[in-house]
Structures are given as C-alpha cells and as structure tokens.
Amino acid sequence: MKLNRSTLNTLPVEIGRPGYGPGDLRAGILHFGVGNFHRAHQGSYLDRLFSQGLSRDWGIVGAGVMPAEQRMRNILIEQDFLSLLVTRSAERDEARVIAPMVDYLPIGDHASIIGRMTDPAIRIVSLTVTEGGYFLDGDGRFDCSHPDIQADVAREDRPHTVFGMILAALDRRRAAGLAPFTVMSCDNLPHNGRVVRGTVTGMARLSDPSLADWIDRHVAFPNGMVDRITPATTDRERLIAAEKLGCEDQWPVFSEDFIQWVLEDDFPQGRPELEAAGVTFTKDVTRYEHMKLRVLNASHAMIAYPAALMGIEYAHEAVIHPLIAPMLEKVQRDEVLPALTPVPEMAPDRYFAIVRSRFANPKIADTIARLCHDGANRQPKFIVPAIRTALDEGLPVNGLALASALWCRYCAGTRDDGAAILSEDPRWPQLNRVARAARSEPGVWLDQRDIYGSVGENPVFREAFARALRRIYGAGVAATLASFAAAS
C-alpha cells in the first residue's frame, strides 16, 4: 500500500497512525535538513506531542539548500508529508506513520525560504546540517575565509548557505520591528548552540557589525544534545517496509528504539511543550553532550576504521569482534571515561555499557561505511576533543592515538588484505594523498590543522600517533589491536 493520505486508514492495523490531521497543525518551526535523523528524532518527538493534542501550532516547515535534498522533498510531497518510522530493538519492531511536517519549501530557493523565516509565526529555526556544515576551523572557531562564506557575503541579497539565509531573515525581522526567532542546532556538536551563534554572528560581522551586535543581544541559541542511532535508508529497509509491514514508503526511516534529547530552556518566543514528549530541559547540557559525544560518537569512530580495514560490514559485528571490542573497552576505560562528569541519570561507565548494547543490536544494521564517512568533519568533533582533555588531565592517549592512526591507515585507500577501499568521503582525494605520505612521515597527518588544530602539535600525542601508525603498517591491524589490548 503506497503511503499517502488517501491510503493512511487502510494500512495494516499494526502500523500506528498520527492522532491528528493536516488541518490540526499550524507552522511554528522551519527546519533545515529534513533527513533520516531529523525525522527519527525531532520529528518523532513532535509527532508524539501533537498526538497528545499539545503544541499544535509548532508544525514543521522543511527547507534545504543542497541539490541532493531535492529527492527527499519530491518523495515527501508525493506522500503528503507522511513518513514511516520503524523503531527496532533486538526483540521487536514498532512501526508508526508520523506527520509533523506541514510544508516543504523549494530546495535552495532563497526568496521563499527567507520569506517564510520572516513570517512571525516561525518562532524557531532548527538545523540538522551535519557536523561539517558550520564552517569551523580545526580549533572549532568560525572560519570566515571559507569560499562559501565569502561568496554569501559578496551576494548578501541572494545567499546560498543556510547561515546566509538565516542572517537575511533576521535582518528583515529587525527592520520590521519583529521579534527574532530562536536558532536551534540539532547536530552532534559540542556546545552546538554556541557554535551556531559563532557562525551566525561571525558571518554578520563581515558585512554588518550592527546586525551582529543585535543578534548577540536578542537572538537565543540554546545548546542541545541529541541521541538516536539512525542508519541510512537502503533497498533493504524499503523491502522490509513493503513486504513485512505492508507499507510502500519510498524513503522509510529505521532507527533504534532508544531516544534522548536534552535542551537548554532558552526560547524567548516560546517553544513546544516537549517535556510532555520526554525531552529533558536543563540549564547546562555540557555534561550530557560530553558524555554522548565522547562515548557514543567517539566509540563509533573507534570501531569504524579497524572494522573497515578488516572487511567488517556492520557496527553490530564490529562491537563484539574479539579484537575490536577489547580495544574499545580499554580506550574508553583508561582515556575517556575518567575525564567525564556523571549526569543525574547515570555514571559514565553505565552509559558506556548501554552504548555497547545499542551498538550490538543486529536489527539496526548500521553500516561501517556510514560510520567512516566524512571523517574530516567528525574526528574534530568526537575524537580530537577527547585527546585534548586527556592531555590536559594527564591521562594516557595511546588508544586515542591508535584510533587516529587507524583512520589515517584507512584513508590510505586499501584494506589489510590489499582490497581497495571505495569511499565517497567529500575530502577523499586530499585525505588519501596525505595518508599515503604519512606512511613514511607520520607527522604530516597531524599537520592538517583544520582537523587537529593545536592538538596535532603536542609532542606526546605526535609520538604516540607515529608509534601506532608504524605498528599498523608493520604488523597489521589485527596484531596491533591485540598488542594494544594486552598492554598493561
């Protein structure tokens, strides 16, 4: 049964349905980046809220700037903005159609996107634009020299980036005497609200310092921590949806059953009653985000590259592998967890145990290829901060150096058995070139300042990295992992 409004009530009874119709919602949020994670996370929370009859003036208007987003828009329009969300534990699946979206603007149409953000009804602009979409340098600061930023500054009446469009809309609201919207990042970044504030105000200062000052005084950028493992959709998921669930969704979303969202309660123009849907509000998300980014996201990075080099396909296979599992345990126990502060709900070691259990869920089938993708943007967010903290606190960094060396070895382009690694990483040509040079001169890898920043200059880390990379090339990945896990 093809998914749309006309077939919604004829879907199998096992599939949950939204407890509201399109006429029940009014737009309140404009969201950039309508991908799988957004629908499994923010979309799922709002669907839960709307089904309780709450906050129905916070419907989502989708927006995007990348040409690749056009297919998603076409599909969602054809499906009347309905999405099949399947949450999977190791024991059972739960399927539900969610419908929190009320519109999806033309991709990259700056006039329509800016115009909609100028509408007073839009009180939150949220973003899921990936870790690499914030124009940051290796030390996490706004990179004003980026070509896309410079291009937007030169054509500020026709911006092409998300942040150029946000600036233009805020400027119009200022000129019209309208209250500004809140800007809410939903990406996996340390202090994501602070990061997006730095990008928006940094871009404003390039052309209009008075606008930057107004934004600093009046616009809220709440920090938040988001968590739900959501793999990419493939024909496998489409087939499960059609044949096992009886629902033909062209882009279904499959995710784990675990979900968490922690937000600073800083929304001057109001917000949905998300606490009624299970969101945690707090004055400071720092402890939560450090634990999540350095345990879950960093662990993904730690298992991904040795798994890829040994030809392992899925995360659930990697996390129980007899060589990878002890390596992950040792790095987290000795170098990461001791630097973390417990959150009210649990201690770091308990959270790590939960993360390993989540990774081991075979139904998620999260691919190693997905976890390896875009390492140049993920490593500075997940691994490098952990290295910096370990160095600052006098903890060992041999395991974190090994994780970095395994990424470098992966980027050299061949597995341990000699098979070629076929990567679609956006920076693959540069990474491959530097990684091959690093075989004889390991330090050149750490000299990529946009990735490692000042951490790459630390002599303790440089020596540990060089030692690990030489060991990988000399003994192979399996032997290197075994010797690391066995070391006292």
Tens of pLDDT along 18-29? 999 999 999 999
pLDDT in tens, 126-144: 999 988 899 988 778 899 9
Q: Which long-range contacts (CB under 8 A, 24 or more apart) does 165-168 make?
A: 165/65, 165/110, 165/113, 165/114, 165/117, 166/117, 166/125, 166/200, 167/200, 167/203, 167/204, 167/211, 168/110, 168/114
**Same domain, yes or no: 453 and 342:** yes
**Same domain, yes or no: 266 and 303:** no
CA distance 476 to 125: 48
Q: 249, 282, 315 — which closes off a domain?
A: 282
Cα–Cα nearest to 189, from 332, 86, 39, 292: 292
Q: Structural domain tally of the chain?
A: 2
Q: 252, 282, 312 — which closes off a domain?
A: 282
Structural domain containing residue 267: 8-282
**Same domain, yes or no: 65 and 165:** yes
In the block, tokens 């921590």 appear at 225
**Same domain, yes or no: 12 and 148:** yes
**Same domain, yes or no: 276 and 320:** no
**Same domain, yes or no: 455 and 321:** yes
Q: 282, 304, 332 — which closes off a domain?
A: 282
**Same domain, yes or no: 303 and 240:** no
Q: Which pLDDT score, from 0 to 100, does residue 137 have?
A: 82
pLDDT tens, residue order, the chain (488 aa): 899 999 999 999 999 999 999 999 999 999 999 999 999 999 999 999 999 999 999 999 999 999 999 999 999 999 999 999 999 998 999 999 999 999 999 999 999 999 999 999 999 999 999 888 999 887 788 999 999 999 999 987 899 999 999 999 999 999 999 999 999 999 998 899 999 999 999 999 999 999 999 999 999 999 999 999 999 999 999 999 999 999 999 999 999 999 999 999 999 999 999 999 999 999 999 999 999 999 999 999 999 999 999 999 999 999 999 999 999 999 999 999 999 999 988 999 999 999 999 999 999 999 999 999 999 999 999 999 999 999 999 999 999 999 999 999 999 999 999 999 999 898 999 999 999 999 999 999 999 999 999 999 999 999 999 999 999 999 999 999 999 999 96
- The region, left, alpha or beta by phi > 0 then psi within -120 to 50, assigned to residue 480 is alpha
Contact 259, 96 (CB under 8 A): no
**Same domain, yes or no: 22 and 94:** yes
CA distance 95 to 86: 4
Q: Is residue 1 part of a domain?
A: no
